[in-house]
Amino acid sequence: MEYRKIKDEDNDGGGSSSGDLESLRGKPISVTNVASKSSELANWKRKSVVTLALTVLTSSQAILIVWSKRAGKYEYSVTTANFLVETLKCALSLAALARIWNHEGVTDDNRLSTTLDEVIVYPIPAVLYLVKNLLQYYIFAYVDAPGYQILKNLNIISTGVLYRIILKKKLSEIQWAAFILLCCGCTTAQLNSNSDRVLQTPLQGWIMAIVMALLSGFAGVYTEAIMKKRPSRNINVQNFWLYVFGMAFNAVAIVIQDFDAVMNKGFFHGYSFITVLMILNHALSGIAVSMVMKYADNIVKVYSTSVAMLLTAVVSVFLFGFHLSLAFFLGSIVVSVSVYLHSAGKLQR
Amino acid sequence: MEYRKIKDEDNDGGGSSSGDLESLRGKPISVTNVASKSSELANWKRKSVVTLALTVLTSSQAILIVWSKRAGKYEYSVTTANFLVETLKCALSLAALARIWNHEGVTDDNRLSTTLDEVIVYPIPAVLYLVKNLLQYYIFAYVDAPGYQILKNLNIISTGVLYRIILKKKLSEIQWAAFILLCCGCTTAQLNSNSDRVLQTPLQGWIMAIVMALLSGFAGVYTEAIMKKRPSRNINVQNFWLYVFGMAFNAVAIVIQDFDAVMNKGFFHGYSFITVLMILNHALSGIAVSMVMKYADNIVKVYSTSVAMLLTAVVSVFLFGFHLSLAFFLGSIVVSVSVYLHSAGKLQR
């Protein structure tokens, strides 16, 4: 299978991206590894910066969504906004590449031209997300929207399981415990008086929720496999190809779903200042996700977005006068303990 | 201070009760420690049996309370029932002692007569519980009954902190994380649509809840210190003295609170079959708690009663047709992970 092949190549040549603070601590200090030590420190710093960026961008994303809801409903086409997000990401990747070509010249690692063998895997995550988004329309026959938000926490578990199976990266037992806690903590933080309804979800709803979680987890893990398959390949080239296929699939979605609206009311109908901010935010978040996939991993991504969810709620208290529930406090404590256990679990190995 | 002295003596001579499965695993197998190995295995078995007994008795206690509520309100005096519980525990301890005297004869460890130095500490837990029970009447000015049930989970944290400070026994960082999770998990499992009210508790209510948690934790930890101060002293003698003071304090409580009712309607007014079962159950649970204090510790007791709380809810589904909430499932998973982490955290040392 394709992803198995990717993994094997990654194992052979891709050691540089796995260095982190913990492997650094484990090594005895000697003259010979001073160079590798400073490169590992640089890797760890880069990993921290992209993780922080993802957390801040994801938090502000959710806040923009709340803001846009408060400001009233804007009748723009979601598919056109998604297309613009992909286009903006593509443009930003090209701009970054142009700068690199100016400074370093065109090399094997940063040239845009590619082989069929390299490019053939890039459409796969886009296809997986497309199938998942299509299923999303059908699941609402079985669950309401708040129930779906709760079931989406299954993504955490599916990502962990697929990360283990497909990328063959091991988590310690403590880290697995931390992962289960992360899922429980996030769900607890979202509990409200109507949450129990989700227990009445029929079997079809559960199956669809699990399939969607697996598709979403698989897309994430597959993207990581693609980004890490060629560790020395410039990330902007990888992003460019990933986003070009994203643009293509979203163009198809516009034609299928919103052709009439775009033809009659125009491509940008219903756009507002907040819509533009949201597109900008989604584009930057998307690039941050790619960087986390390249320089960190899916586990870091899941923790980062979970912590962002909690930060959003706290910020919303000040911005929108939200009230925090006891369940939110308890869930936040469980998530915090999970973050601690994830790093404590690493140290044991 | 008195409890410091107890601890020091315990450290000098009381190593026999600290053996458990984990310390067993850590030792290399040799001819010389086969004897200590089999004694440690016996200790571990005894610890498991008393822990299981406490869990089952605590679960059935809660189920009896639900049953008695369903069967209608019985207007018996709580103080007379408490007095009978203490009397029954005293009688059972004496019966066990009589049997031991018949088999082994009277020795220094199992004789009932005692010194002032030994006996002077036994009333202290009874006094602490008395003060705590008095405070209980006043806290309801600030919190409602379900809110108080939630605040009672602070006992978990206070027990852990006092166990560390007073008995000077260390928990690993993973075990502390597990303890915080146990508190969050138990609280989450008890959440209902009115739980958020507890966040409106005024400062006085919080202070009283914390003081009560400290009193309860202190009483538990102090009882453990008493039981372990003299490891070779027969547990039935220690129980006898503990319960004699319990009888005395409950006799005082009868006079203060229910003197008129007992005089006019009789000591056993309002007693039913369920009341008798509850007295029997409380007496056996009390003895199980003493045994857990002697052969295990307060941490085991807290885990045992927390798991019992969850078992009660599950059994109530079958017995009384209760519905389990999503919060209960999430809390149960967090408690289960906490139990796992508590034992996984031990292995690291």
Mean pLDDT rounded to a whole number for chain A = 85
- Could you tell me if residue B342 is inside a domain? yes
Question: Which site among A182, A184, A200 would you substitute to test the B interface, given the most B Cβ atoms closer than 10 Å to its Cβ?
Answer: A184
**Does A92 score more than 90 pLDDT?**
yes
Q: What are the pLDDT digits (tens) for A280-307?
A: 999 999 999 999 999 999 999 999 999 9
Q: Write the secondary structure of B36-54 as one string of H (helix), E (strand) and C (coil).
A: HHHHHHHHHHHHHHHHHHH
Buried b (16+ CB within 10 A) or exposed e, A259-270: eebbeeeeeeee
Q: How far apart are CA B213 and CA B216, in angstroms?
A: 5
Q: Write the secondary structure of A238-256 as one string of H (helix), E (strand) and C (coil).
A: HHHHHHHHHHHHHHHHHHH
pLDDT of residue A33: 60
Q: What are the pLDDT digits (tens) for B252-281?
A: 888 988 888 899 998 988 888 888 999 999
Report phi then psi at B282, rounded to 5: -60, -40
pLDDT of residue A235: 94
pLDDT of residue A296: 92
CB atoms within 10 A of CB A282: 20
Low-confidence ranges of chain B (pLDDT < 70): 1-34, 69-74, 347-349
Q: What is the mean predicted confidence (pLDDT) over A228-256? A: 92
A72 Ramachandran zone, left/alpha/beta (phi>0; psi -120 to 50) = left
Query: Which of A64-73, A176-185, B225-234 shows the highest mean pLDDT?
Result: A176-185
| Amino acid letter, residue A230 | R
Chain A: give the shortest CA distance to residue B191, in Å: 8
| Residue A241 CB contacts under 8 Å (≥ 6 apart), including other chains | A114, A118, A119, A122
Q: What are the tokens at B319?
A: 């017995």
pLDDT of residue B187: 95
In this complex, do A334 and B177 lie within 8 Å of one another by their Cβ atoms? no
pLDDT of residue A349: 43
- What confidence category does residue A323 fall into, taking pLDDT thresholds of 50, 70 and 90? confident
Collect all residues of chain A within an 8 Å Cβ-Cβ radius of residue B187: 326, 330
- Nearest-10 Cα torsion for A324, A326, A330, A336: 20
Assess A330–B contact: CB distance below 8 Å, yes or no. Answer: yes
Residue A61 or residue A183, greater confidence: A183
User: For the ranges A56-70, A329-343, B238-252, which has the lowest average pLDDT?
Assistant: A56-70
- What confidence category does residue A74 fall into, taking pLDDT thresholds of 50, 70 and 90? low
Assess A326–B contact: CB distance below 8 Å, yes or no. Answer: yes
In this complex, do A330 and B193 lie within 8 Å of one another by their Cβ atoms? no
Chain B: give the shortest CA distance to residue A193, in Å: 5
Q: What are the pLDDT digits (tens) for A210-228?
A: 999 999 999 999 999 999 9
In this complex, do B188 and A193 lie within 8 Å of one another by their Cβ atoms? no
Q: How far apart are CA B342 and CA B55, in angstroms?
A: 17
Number of Cβ pairs closer than 8 Å across A and B? Answer: 78
Chain A: give the shortest CA distance to residue B158, in Å: 17
- Could you tell me if residue B189 is inside a domain? yes
Assess A188–B contact: CB distance below 8 Å, yes or no. Answer: yes
CB atoms within 10 A of CB B168: 12
| Amino acid letter, residue B29 | I
- Could you tell me if residue B100 is inside a domain? yes
Assess B279–A contact: CB distance below 8 Å, yes or no. Answer: no
- Could you tell me if residue B78 is inside a domain? yes
Q: What is the mean predicted confidence (pLDDT) over A66-71? A: 72
Rounded to 5°, the CA angle A124-A128-A130 comes to 115
Chain A: give the shortest CA distance to residue B114, in Å: 48
pLDDT of residue B280: 94
Residues in chain B, overall count: 349
Residue A20 or residue A259, greater confidence: A259
Q: What are the pLDDT digits (tens) for B82-108?
A: 899 999 999 999 999 999 999 999 998
pLDDT of residue B48: 92
Contact A182, A160 (CB under 8 A): no
| Distance in angstroms between the alpha carbons of the first and the last residue of chain B | 30
Residue B10 or residue A168, greater confidence: A168
Range(s) of the domain holding residue B298: 47-347
Helices (H), chain A: 2-13, 21-26, 34-70, 78-104, 116-119, 123-139, 145-151, 154-166, 173-190, 203-229, 235-265, 273-295, 298-320, 326-347
Contact B332, B185 (CB under 8 A): yes
pLDDT of residue A11: 35
Q: Is A84 helix (H, G, I), strand (E, B) or coil?
A: helix
Chain A: give the shortest CA distance to residue B326, in Å: 5
**Does A10 score more than 70 pLDDT?**
no
- Could you tell me if residue B29 is inside a domain? no
pLDDT of residue A2: 37
**Does A138 score more than 70 pLDDT?**
yes
In this complex, do B337 and A180 lie within 8 Å of one another by their Cβ atoms? yes
**Does A23 score more than 60 pLDDT?**
no
Collect all residues of chain B within an 8 Å Cβ-Cβ radius of residue A331: 188
- Give the residue on B whose Cα is nearest the Cα of A344: B174
Where do we find the tokens 């760890």? Answer: A44
Report how far apart, in Å, the C-alpha atoms of B147 and of each of B187, B209, B212, B213, B306 are. Answer: 10, 10, 14, 14, 17
- Could you tell me if residue B229 is inside a domain? yes
pLDDT of residue A243: 93
Collect all residues of chain B within an 8 Å Cβ-Cβ radius of residue A198: 326
Q: How far apart are CA B130 and CA B120, in angstroms?
A: 17
**ipTM entry:** 0.81
Q: What are the tokens at B126?
A: 């009874």
Q: How far apart are CA A45 and CA A52, in angstroms?
A: 11
- Could you tell me if residue B27 is inside a domain? no
Contact A305, A104 (CB under 8 A): no
- Count of the separate structural domains present in chain A: 1
CB atoms within 10 A of CB B25: 9
pLDDT of residue B8: 35
pLDDT of residue A79: 85
Helices (H), chain B: 2-13, 21-26, 34-70, 78-104, 116-119, 123-139, 145-151, 154-166, 173-190, 203-229, 235-265, 273-295, 298-320, 326-347
